[in-house]
């Protein structure tokens, strides 16, 4: 492959924390990304404060049905007369929650297997890598569809399906990083001093791969949110739950777009776009900060 | 670095590529526009085409196997049946021009039209009819589609070439309806397919048949092309060609209607939102048919086998008729109709539908279960189910909360919308509904073994109500706990109901039969096992050029047309006198393409020449 | 699950992460080509067998009695339901099912679809053409567009072009594919207000298209525009990032300084030296992204009712039609395994260090 670029391990000087923060702030992409995440988190966590049960209960709302945006309803109303703005705010919760949980599962699985595969170079390592490679090769959406069909529709099966189809690339990345870290002299020293395998992996390797895990996790959340939207759109989610994916599914299935009700279609998609961008920009920025060499090159 | 200011080569190449791409797109645009139906319709009336819609995807036109409505519709146009649904949706003469029944009501004699020939010239006789029927009656693979309909027949014989005699085991009131659905196939062609009848798809066109149309073209999964027959007893259709197109989703179908790529969309394609958006589009008439299709929520009042053994994990609280009645009173049908289907349905609680007025029963005002949450709340409290702190009721005796599962179809958007309303209304009367979306198969499996509390349900009533009534009889309860041998809709079982059912099947006196059937509806209504919500109207949109003859009957006071047999409409539709649309003629296309090519070619030459000079300059 | 964030992909390039199936002990060099090919083929076969077994296990868990769903709303007796169940082979013990499954596979039959009442193989045969047309055209355009943008961006790193191109590709990657498709459908096909759409709203053919090969080709091309556009917009970001990262990595190389010192023009240096070397790792990663292209194709086919394999999978979900789902799953996996195999061989073949042996 590319024989010219050196792996991350060969960074010798690690800049101080304050200079890292300063570097972060100077990047416009980072500022935008973090700002987006902060706003979205605020909306998601604070949603129960301004979205009440009677805003979501179709038997209690009395807004006009499928109406274009007006003063009272800034983003219009849906089929049942609920405010699209409030639905959008409320829908951020499952969308983000599923994304985060799926990512957590992915990272745990990917890290464990990546570390093991990188550390145990022999049969165990190769076996793990074969399994990982096999998972990477499997086309992800057909696999997710198959899993969801087996486990039944709903949030749990979507979360598991996303985790199953995403862990492999994380594992591969972490294995490469583990290999790089273990090539450093201090690992040899630890081995010479009689450290056990677990100690080496947990105490020596893990702290050095944490930056990559953080970056990878941030970027994986972005993908998981996209996946949740796609799987829900295909009908594999919970249709009565309000999430961005289900809002789009409903808009398409009800024929809202044919009726010209763009306000049911555009806001949820834009919300997904913005959140995913937020995670991507933040992840990229964090990566640059934690790995100055890449920052120079890029 | 180098101080060469510009790099002409890659820019040139890019420009050429861009030009050619643009030219190609433009050519596509022109051809695309010219293949629009406007241009196709500009032809003479000998190739007049009506483009209708296939209700479902199609893949198998074997009438012994065909399930999908799209396949059935096609088969109805190319194979004859003894009777056919007329303007009133009652069985009228088709292949059989008249019939008589013996005094003991066991023998039906059908007199066929004579002198008819299959599309390959072979005479169509009574022996084709008997061959078809006997195949269904004696070959289990061939009975896949229509076996139930002939289950009550004892024999089907042909004393001569133009008479068919059907004898039944018991007097059956609905024989005319049964024979309306069974396509008759040419014996001389199908004899060879009997061995593999379970897998024969009958998709090689042209198909030998007899009907208003001949099956001449097929694009797998997408469209069926039918050409008018040269002769047909009912009159050759005025439209020379009938193309039935399948649209995978409704937005594609509606967009096609707007652009004129299809002439008529319905009956099950559009959502009410889309239909409403077509109401004021010029050139399109959006109308509704009264429907024979009901939408309900069914309640598990106690699943049991035919011998009475309880089965499944349904919540035992639902055995209590008070709870079921409270649920029924807690549902606001009118609001459901307004808000989930935009008013395009008739709110009703009757088991049989408004489409067939002679069977339709409405409860007297004193017995009507109208929306009354106050009454429902009072009933439940009085019956020993007080409200707990969280607003949900619990059983005073056991402490168990009134919490029931509502199963919905994950692929039917209306189920989810309806479930949201049901959940809210049930909360108002203190019942917790736990909505579970699942695939069709999962839902039906759970239904069959009794593992359900409430389910969304939907059925269509045939021209004869017997089958729909049969699925609520004790006789179709399963034989054992894993659901085998059963065909029940909601595990309803009532002996009086069964008595009436047995009576009505053999009742030839219309008044008596009507009384029996209405009594059955009353029993169902009061049991609250199948809480009918509304009859969902059929939504149609047709281009105004193509209405004549296709839409018949007159609209009632609500603007609803009576239930129509759209297949009949295809044979009766009359092409518009003028040719509208007017797409580009072929000469115009050629001129435009030539101009585009010249422009593109000229641009290409110019850029090439510049490139050469640039190189020379180097 | 969705195609890796462009940034993660760039990380993989930077880390020198090897291609999925090229984990050969001791690295690639040092083995002759035939042995390499043999090992790769064997690995691919093992992968395929694993896919098949897992697919069978997975799908035999799903409730598999769709007879009621198939006959919904139609008059059927209990006896008929039983007959239908027997005909479709439902309810057999698991080992009988597995035996049928293996037997079918050996004869290259993938099963029988309940809802279409056709063999899965013939359905796949009917629908593979449209999918390949869609994926092929999209991949080609994405690669060309992505590579060109990536090269330009990477070469002129930090320029306005670079920033706009990178920004646009990141934004487009962040958009859900199906949403972009629906937006394009609304704007360019359904139209809004007084503007009538230009492109068809779905399908692959117009029923009234005039007969003839040229007309058919143009008609299909007409229907292909929107789905292809959607897929390209979402996927090309990958290739831009890969190529850009590769070029940037190449830029640090001393041999380029030499080339410039020799007096070679900037774009010649780029074209003749930097690009080919940067292309090499890109080739493998491009093939790796083909799996993501498959996912994108499925959602695009659903939105535009494109009659391909992706849409077939979606239709199979409705019942669910188990054997059809199983068949399409195995087929997609086999296709991606095959493409990875081709990528490995191609890479080995193209790597000048290896060819020099």
Q: What percent of chain A has pLDDT over 70?
A: 89
The stretches of chain C forming alpha helices (DSSP H) are 6-15, 33-59, 67-70, 78-87, 94-106, 120-155, 160-173, 177-184, 213-251, 254-261, 266-269, 275-288, 290-304, 309-317, 322-350, 352-355
A93, A162, A174: which is closest to A129 by C-alpha?
A174
Q: Cβ of B120: how many Cβ atoms within 10 Å?
A: 12
The pLDDT assigned to A284 comes to 83
What are the tokens at B70?
């799209």
Residue B28's pLDDT band (cuts 50, 70, 90): low
Instruction: Write the DSSP string, B339-350.
Output: HHSTT-EEE---
Interface of A with B in 166-225 (CB under 8 A): none
Is the pLDDT higher at B332 or at A181?
A: B332
- Residue A112 neighbours by CB under 8 Å, 6+ apart: none
C227 CA: distance to closest CA in chain A (Å): 16
Q: What is the DSSP letter of B232?
A: -
- Residue C12 neighbours by CB under 8 Å, 6+ apart: A169, A172, A173, A176, C4, C285
State whether A139 and C248 contact (CB < 8 Å). Answer: no
* pLDDT tens digits for range B80-97: 999 998 888 889 999 999
The backbone torsions φ and ψ at residue B242, rounded to the nearest 5 degrees and listed phi first, read -125, 120
| Mean pLDDT within B197-212 | 89
Which residue(s) pair with B295 in the sheet? Answer: B458, B534
Which chains touch B (3+ CB pairs under 8 A)? A, C
Longest Cα–Cα distance in chain C: 87
| Mean pLDDT within A148-172 | 89
Q: At what angle do helices C290-304 and C322-350 cross, to 10 degrees?
A: 140
Strand, coil or helix: B536: strand
User: Based on C-alpha coordinates, what's the Rg of chain A?
Assistant: 23
Burial of B568-582, coded b for 16+ CB within 10 Å and e otherwise, reads: bbbbbbebbeeeebe
The pLDDT assigned to B2 comes to 43
Strand, coil or helix: B598: helix
Q: Does B438 touch chain C (CB under 8 A)?
A: no
Identify from A36, A103, A122, A141 which residue to disrupt to test chain C contact, counting C C-beta atoms within 10 A and taking the largest count: A141
| ipTM over 0.90 threshold | no
Q: Does A274 touch chain B (CB under 8 A)?
A: no
How much of chain B is helix, strand and coil, in % rounded to 5? Answer: 35, 20, 45
Identify from C18, C40, C174 which residue to disrupt to test chain A contact, counting A C-beta atoms within 10 A and taking the largest count: C174
In sign, the C-alpha dihedral spanning A30, A36, A40, A43 is positive
| Mean pLDDT within A29-46 | 92
Which residues on B lie below 8 Å from A149 (Cβ)? 439
Q: What is the DSSP letter of B223?
A: E
Q: Cβ of B362: how many Cβ atoms within 10 Å?
A: 14
Q: Does A79 touch chain B (CB under 8 A)?
A: yes
The structure tokens 């409030």 sit at A86
Nearest to B248 among C190, C202, C205 (CB): C202
The CA distance from C88 to C86, in Å, is 5
B391 CA to centre of own chain: 41
* pLDDT tens digits for range B431-483: 999 999 988 888 998 999 999 999 999 999 988 899 899 999 999 999 988 88
Q: Is the pLDDT of residue B332 over 70?
A: yes
Yes or no: say if B4 and B570 are a contact pair by the CB < 8 Å rule: no
The pLDDT assigned to B8 comes to 45
Which residues on B lie below 8 Å from A249 (Cβ)? 413
* pLDDT tens digits for range A239-297: 889 999 999 999 988 888 888 889 999 999 999 999 999 998 898 888 877 775 544 43
C-alpha separations of B352 from B391, B461, B563, C290 in Å: 36, 7, 14, 54
Specify burial of residue B103 (Cβ count, 10 A radius: 0-12, 13-18, 19+).
Answer: exposed
The backbone torsions φ and ψ at residue C118, rounded to the nearest 5 degrees and listed phi first, read -140, 160
Which chains touch C (3+ CB pairs under 8 A)? A, B
Q: Does C201 touch chain B (CB under 8 A)?
A: yes
Output the average pLDDT for chain B. Answer: 86
What are the tokens at B250?
């409704």
Which chain B residue lies closest to C73 (C-alpha atoms)? Answer: B459
Instruction: Write the DSSP string, B129-172.
Output: HHHHHHHHHH-TTTTTTTGGGGTTEEEEEEEETTEEEEEESS--
Interface of B with A (CB under 8 A): 249-251, 254-255, 270-271, 273-274, 276-277, 332, 335, 339-340, 342, 408, 410-411, 413, 415-417, 419-421, 423-425, 427-428, 435, 437-439, 442
What is the pTM for the complete model shown? 0.85
Which chains touch A (3+ CB pairs under 8 A)? B, C
Identify from A53, A57, A58 which residue to disrupt to test chain B contact, counting B C-beta atoms within 10 A and taking the largest count: A58
Q: What percent of chain B has pLDDT over 70?
A: 86
Specify burial of residue B612 (Cβ count, 10 A radius: 0-12, 13-18, 19+).
Answer: exposed
Yes or no: say if B84 and B92 are a contact pair by the CB < 8 Å rule: yes
* pLDDT tens digits for range C178-232: 999 999 888 888 776 666 677 887 788 876 666 778 888 888 998 899 999 999 9
Query: Checking phi first, is residue A260 left (phi over 0); if not, alpha (psi -120 to 50) or beta?
Result: left
The pLDDT assigned to A298 comes to 36
Longest Cα–Cα distance in chain A: 75
Q: Does B467 touch chain C (CB under 8 A)?
A: yes
Yes or no: say if B83 and B96 are a contact pair by the CB < 8 Å rule: yes
C331 CA to centre of own chain: 12
The pLDDT assigned to B618 comes to 41
Yes or no: say if B146 and B64 are a contact pair by the CB < 8 Å rule: yes
Strand, coil or helix: B469: helix
The CA distance from C122 to C327, in Å, is 11
Interface of C with B in 239-278 (CB under 8 A): 260, 265-267
B446, B137, B484, B182: which is closest to C81 by C-alpha?
B484
Nearest to B420 among A240, A255, A257 (CB): A240
Would you give per-residue pLDDT tens digits along chain C (357 residues)?
555 555 555 555 555 444 433 433 334 445 577 888 888 888 888 888 888 888 888 877 776 677 777 777 677 777 777 777 776 667 677 777 778 777 777 777 778 887 787 788 888 988 899 999 999 899 889 888 888 888 888 877 778 888 888 888 888 888 999 999 999 888 888 776 666 677 887 788 876 666 778 888 888 998 899 999 999 998 888 788 778 877 777 777 777 777 777 777 777 776 777 777 777 667 667 776 777 788 888 999 988 889 899 999 988 887 788 888 888 988 988 888 888 888 778 777 766 665 554
Which chain C residue lies closest to A223 (C-alpha atoms)? Answer: C2
Strand, coil or helix: C136: helix
């Amino acid at each position: 492959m590319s024989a010219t670029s050196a792996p991350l391990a060969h960074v010798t000087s690690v800049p101080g924390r304050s200079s890292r923060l300063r570097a972060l702030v100077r990047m416009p992409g980072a500022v935008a990304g973090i700002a987006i995440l902060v706003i979205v988190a605020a909306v998601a966590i604070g949603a129960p404060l301004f979205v009440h049960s009677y805003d979501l209960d179709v038997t209690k709302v009395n807004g006009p049905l499928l109406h274009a945006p007006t003063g009272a309803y800034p983003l219009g109303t849906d089929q049942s007369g609920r405010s699209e703005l409030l639905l959008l705010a409320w829908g951020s919760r499952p969308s983000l929650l599923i994304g985060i949980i799926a990512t957590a599962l992915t990272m745990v699985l990917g890290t464990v297997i990546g570390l093991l595969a990188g550390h145990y170079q022999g049969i165990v390592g190769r076996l793990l890598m074969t399994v990982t490679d096999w998972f990477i090769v499997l086309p992800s959406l057909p696999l997710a569809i198959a899993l969801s069909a087996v486990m039944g529709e709903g949030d749990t099966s979507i979360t598991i399906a996303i985790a199953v189809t995403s862990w492999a690339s994380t594992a591969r990345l972490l294995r490469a990083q583990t290999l790089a870290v273990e090539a450093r002299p201090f690992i040899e020293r630890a081995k010479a001093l009689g450290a056990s395998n677990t100690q080496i992996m947990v105490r020596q390797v893990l702290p050095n791969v944490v930056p990559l895990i953080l970056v990878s996790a941030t970027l994986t959340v972005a993908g998981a949110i996209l996946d949740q939207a796609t799987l829900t759109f295909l009908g594999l989610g919970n249709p009565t739950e309000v999430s961005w994916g289900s809002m789009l599914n409903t808009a398409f299935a009800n024929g809202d777009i044919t009726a010209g009700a763009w306000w049911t279609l555009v806001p949820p998609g834009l919300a997904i776009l913005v959140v995913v961008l937020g995670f991507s920009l933040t992840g990229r920025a964090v990566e640059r900060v934690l790995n100055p060499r890449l920052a120079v090159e890029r | 670095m180098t101080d060469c200011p510009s790099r002409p080569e890659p820019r040139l190449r890019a420009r050429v590529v861009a030009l050619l791409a643009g030219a190609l797109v433009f050519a596509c645009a022109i051809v695309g526009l010219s293949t629009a139906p406007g241009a196709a319709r500009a032809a003479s009336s000998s190739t007049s085409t009506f483009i209708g819609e296939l209700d479902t995807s199609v893949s198998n036109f074997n009438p012994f196997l065909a399930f999908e409505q799209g396949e059935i519709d096609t088969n109805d146009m190319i194979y004859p049946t003894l009777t056919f649904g007329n303007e009133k949706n009652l069985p009228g003469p088709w292949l059989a021009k008249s019939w008589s029944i013996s005094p003991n009501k066991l023998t039906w004699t059908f007199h066929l039209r004579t002198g008819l020939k299959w599309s390959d010239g072979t005479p169509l006789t009574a022996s084709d009819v008997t061959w078809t029927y006997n195949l269904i009656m004696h070959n289990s693979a061939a009975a896949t589609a229509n076996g139930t309909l002939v289950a009550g027949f004892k024999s089907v014989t042909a004393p001569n070439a133009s008479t068919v005699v059907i004898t039944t085991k018991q007097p059956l009131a609905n024989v005319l309806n049964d024979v309306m659905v069974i396509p008759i196939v040419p014996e001389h062609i199908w004899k060879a397919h009997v061995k593999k009848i379970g897998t024969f798809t009958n998709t090689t066109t042209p198909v030998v048949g007899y009907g208003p149309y001949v099956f001449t073209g097929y694009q797998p999964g997408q469209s069926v092309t039918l050409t008018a027959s040269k002769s047909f007893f009912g009159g050759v259709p005025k439209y020379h060609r009938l193309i039935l197109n399948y649209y995978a989703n409704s937005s594609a179908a509606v967009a096609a209607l707007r652009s004129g790529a299809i002439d008529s969309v319905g009956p099950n394609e559009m959502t009410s939102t889309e239909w409403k958006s077509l109401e004021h589009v010029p050139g399109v008439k959006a109308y509704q048919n009264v429907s024979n299709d009901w939408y309900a929520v069914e309640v598990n009042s106690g699943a049991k086998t035919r011998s009475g053994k309880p089965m499944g994990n349904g919540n035992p609280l639902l055995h209590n008729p008070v709870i079921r009645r409270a649920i029924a009173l807690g549902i606001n049908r009118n609001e459901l109709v307004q808000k989930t289907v935009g008013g395009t349905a008739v709110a009703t609680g009757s088991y049989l539908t408004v489409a067939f007025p002679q069977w339709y029963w409405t409860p007297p005002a004193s017995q009507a279960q109208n929306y009354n949450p106050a009454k429902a709340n009072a009933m439940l409290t009085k019956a020993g189910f007080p409200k707990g702190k969280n607003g949900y009721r619990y059983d005073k005796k056991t402490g168990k909360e009134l919490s029931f599962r509502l199963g919905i179809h994950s692929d039917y958007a209306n189920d989810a919308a309806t479930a949201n309303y049901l959940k809210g209304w049930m909360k108002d009367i203190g019942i917790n509904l736990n909505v579970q979306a699942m695939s069709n198969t999962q839902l039906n499996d759970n239904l069959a073994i009794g593992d359900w509390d409430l389910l969304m349900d939907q059925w269509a009533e045939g021209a004869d109500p017997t089958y729909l009534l049969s699925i609520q009889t004790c006789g179709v309860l399963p034989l054992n706990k894993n659901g085998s041998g059963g065909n029940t809709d909601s595990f309803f079982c009532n002996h009086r109901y069964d008595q009436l059912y047995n009576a009505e099947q053999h009742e030839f006196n219309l008044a008596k039969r009507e009384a029996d059937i209405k009594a059955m509806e009353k029993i169902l209504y009061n049991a609250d096992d199948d809480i009918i919500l509304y009859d969902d109207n059929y939504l149609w949109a047709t281009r105004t050029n193509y209405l004549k003859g296709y839409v018949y009957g007159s609209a009632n006071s609500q603007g609803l047309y009576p239930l129509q047999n759209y297949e009949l409409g295809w044979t009766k539709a009359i092409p518009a006198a003028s040719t509208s649309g007017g797409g580009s003629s072929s000469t115009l296309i050629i001129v435009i393409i030539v101009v585009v090519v010249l422009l593109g070619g000229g641009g290409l030459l110019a850029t090439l020449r510049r490139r050469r000079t640039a190189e020379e300059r180097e | 699950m969705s195609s890796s964030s462009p940034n993660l992909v760039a990380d993989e390039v930077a880390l020198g992460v090897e291609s999925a199936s090229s984990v050969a002990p001791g690295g690639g060099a040092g083995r002759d080509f035939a042995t390499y090919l043999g090992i790769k083929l064997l690995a691919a076969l093992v992968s395929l067998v694993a896919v098949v077994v897992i697919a069978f296990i997975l799908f035999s868990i799903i409730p598999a009695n769709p007879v009621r769903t198939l006959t919904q709303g139609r008059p059927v007796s209990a006896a008929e339901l039983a007959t239908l169940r027997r005909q479709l082979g439902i309810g057999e013990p698991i080992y009988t099912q597995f035996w049928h499954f293996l037997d079918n596979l050996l004869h290259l039959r993938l099963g029988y679809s309940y809802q279409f009442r056709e063999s899965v193989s013939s359905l796949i045969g009917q629908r593979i053409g449209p999918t390949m047309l869609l994926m092929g055209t999209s991949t080609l355009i994405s690669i060309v567009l992505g590579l060109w943008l990536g090269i330009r961006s990477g070469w002129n790193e930090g320029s306005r072009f670079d920033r706009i191109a990178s920004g646009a590709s990141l934004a487009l990657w962040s958009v859900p594919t199906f949403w972009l498709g629906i937006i394009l459908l609304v704007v360019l096909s359904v139209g809004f207000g007084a503007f009538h759409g230009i492109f068809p709203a779905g399908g692959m053919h117009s029923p009234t298209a005039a007969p003839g090969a040229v007309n058919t080709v143009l008609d299909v091309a007409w229907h292909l525009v929107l789905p292809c556009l959607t897929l390209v917009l979402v996927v090309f970001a990958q290739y831009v990032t890969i190529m850009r990262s590769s070029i940037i990595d190449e830029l640090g190389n001393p041999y380029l300084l030499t080339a410039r010192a020799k007096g070679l023009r900037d774009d010649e240096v780029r074209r003749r030296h930097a690009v080919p070397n940067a292309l090499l790792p890109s080739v493998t990663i491009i093939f790796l992204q083909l799996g993501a292209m498959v996912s994108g194709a499925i959602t695009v086919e659903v939105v535009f009712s494109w009659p391909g394999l992706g849409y077939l999978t979606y239709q199979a979900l409705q019942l669910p039609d188990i054997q059809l789902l199983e068949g399409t799953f195995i087929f997609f996996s086999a296709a991606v395994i095959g493409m990875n195999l081709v990528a490995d061989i191609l890479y080995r073949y193209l790597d000048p260090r290896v060819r020099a042996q």
